[in-house]
A and B are shown apart, each in its own frame.
Chain A
Amino acid sequence: MAKLIHLTINDKEYDVAVAPNETLVDMLRYRLGLTGTKKGCGLGDCGSCTVIMDGSAVNSCLVLAVQADGSQITTVEGLETDEGLHPVQRAFIEHGAIQCGFCSSGMIVSAKNLLDKNPHPTEADVRTALSGNLCRCTGYQKIVDAVLSVGK
């Protein structure tokens, strides 16, 4: 039986009817067309589904949509403003931290969450914060450099 949930996504309010077994990532991608958040492993290992929920970066593939009722969600789509790309997004481009781009949404959202809590992280802080986001292409170095450059 569907449940009506109310949540705020990227500062916009939504009322959505969801099935109990619908995950947050499926709701974002299929019901709301917010396909910036990706589906990789579906099991909370790869981090491509990372969103910020009530201030913490989480695997949206492991959150039931019904559990997100009343929450504040930020997806990668919410990072760009009228003034342009978010500093983390710009840094990723400038540092060559994007190859195939599949991990990038998750990486950028995790990095933004880190910088919101710790504006000047060390390299160790960055690597720990991104340890739940896997990248097959870059070898991580340029991603780490990009995040550190924003934190300077």
Chain B
Amino acid sequence: MALAYLALAVCAIGTILRVLKYTRAPMHLRWELYPVPHEKGKSQYGGSYFEEVEWWTRPRETSLTGEIRAMLEEMLLIRSLWRHNRPQWYASLPFHAGIYLLFGFTLLLGVAAAAEALGIADNTPWFQWLQAITALVGAVGLASGTLGACALLWHRLTDARLRSSSTPIDYVNLLVVLSVFMSAGLAAITVDPTFSQLRAFLRGAMTLSPPPQLPAAIAAQIVLASAFLVYLPFSHMTHFVAKYFTYHQVRWDDAPNLNDPKMIARIQANLSRPVGWSAPHIQSSKSWAEVAREVK
């Protein structure tokens, strides 16, 4: 149980540090890429407010719905892969769906464990329904994730270009995730088809009670899942966090500089940084604002 606590803590801290790394970054120069889905009435064809004459005199019309729809399509269906790399999509979608479902499964299992700990579960109908749904989500998630991970691995091994450009880490990442799926699947099939023992483990973890005696298959599953959680924030699998920033703060960041005091302050902060580059046409310890006025 200590291992699970530790793994969760490392994963949370590692992920937070990664998020902080990106959120604390200085405001960068604009680098958007169209279509930008919040461009109201224009995102369907990739248009922007730049299409309007004297756009700065018009109210900026954005569509939150458009942005949310694009986000959901990308998160849940990996739309860009569907459009640009269909063979990979057939493997990637079940893989990611498996992860999402297992995340949902863990939450449902946690709810059930909490209900048990609070003594409000017993054999009430809703609890039985919860257990049934949890089992279904878990089973589908495991099957989907295992299938997807195997397909991704197969794709990487058999596609000449992917194989040539793959690093050992790419295989390690897939094998780590696959081992989590497979160990969980094996435990479910062999010793814990109703996930009751895993739920008992979670209940113990929630109530800080001594862990129940677990079969080796479940113990192995927990060890592998913990190892995965520790590894996750230090791998390129952090794209689950990074994707927010690549989309919202780069690709879709088309906020114009309309002399808003906050933006102007951030611009001035950037321009007051010293220039450290040392090519002959720069060579200066002056600020960006000063260097930008030089002609060398």
The judgment on whether A and B are partners is: no
